[in-house]
Amino acid sequence: MPDSAPLVTDPFARFSEWMAEAEASEPADANAMILSTAAPDGSVSSRTVLLKAADTRGFVFYTNIESRKARELAANRHAALLFFWKSLGRQIRIEGIVERVTEAEADAYFATRPRISRLGAWASDQSRPLPDRTTLEQRLAEYEAKYPGEDIPRPPYWSGYRVVPEMFEFWQNMPFRLHDRTVYRRAPQGWTIGKLYP
């Protein structure tokens, strides 16, 4: 939002406002976010994941904890998120420290997933080499036979992560590339707020 609008002092409240507007305007997956992680050697990788929970504790996504992203987070708990909503001319950058969700949180979310997605969590050795598509389909069929009903346990190697923010940047597209950028940084007594040149 431009300077003429009242400034929201709570970045989580501002995030909620922008997310609600994105959900009303984006054609699909307003909760898609780019997750960037870094390996011990300093190399960086990014991928799109889906935001599954957001509150004042942070921003949660779920994955195979033996995947590349999880291995990198085990070595370096710093991560960055990027939400970009082209229809609104907005983006939010978030940087913070990652922690694992509780077992209860992971179980509760896993139970809400479609059956095939739950079976897919068992069938996929995420991020590791796959000989061909047929191999994945065969593994999925094996787990369909093993778990024929709805009672499908969460794999021990599947869980969630919460990015606990240290910084937010809210970017609003403005005419002539004179964009509005507002930065929130965590401080001992709350959040500091400042502006950046476009």
DSSP string, 127-168: TS--S-HHHHHHHHHHHHHHS-SS--PPPTTEEEEEEEEEEE
| Residue whose C-alpha is closest to residue 168's, from 97, 95, 89 | 95
177 is catalytic: yes
Written in H, E and C, the secondary structure of 56-74 is CCEEEEEEECCCHHHHHHH
Tell me 78's DSSP state: E
> Choosing from 115, 162, 177, 185, which is the catalytic residue?
177
> Known catalytic residues?
177
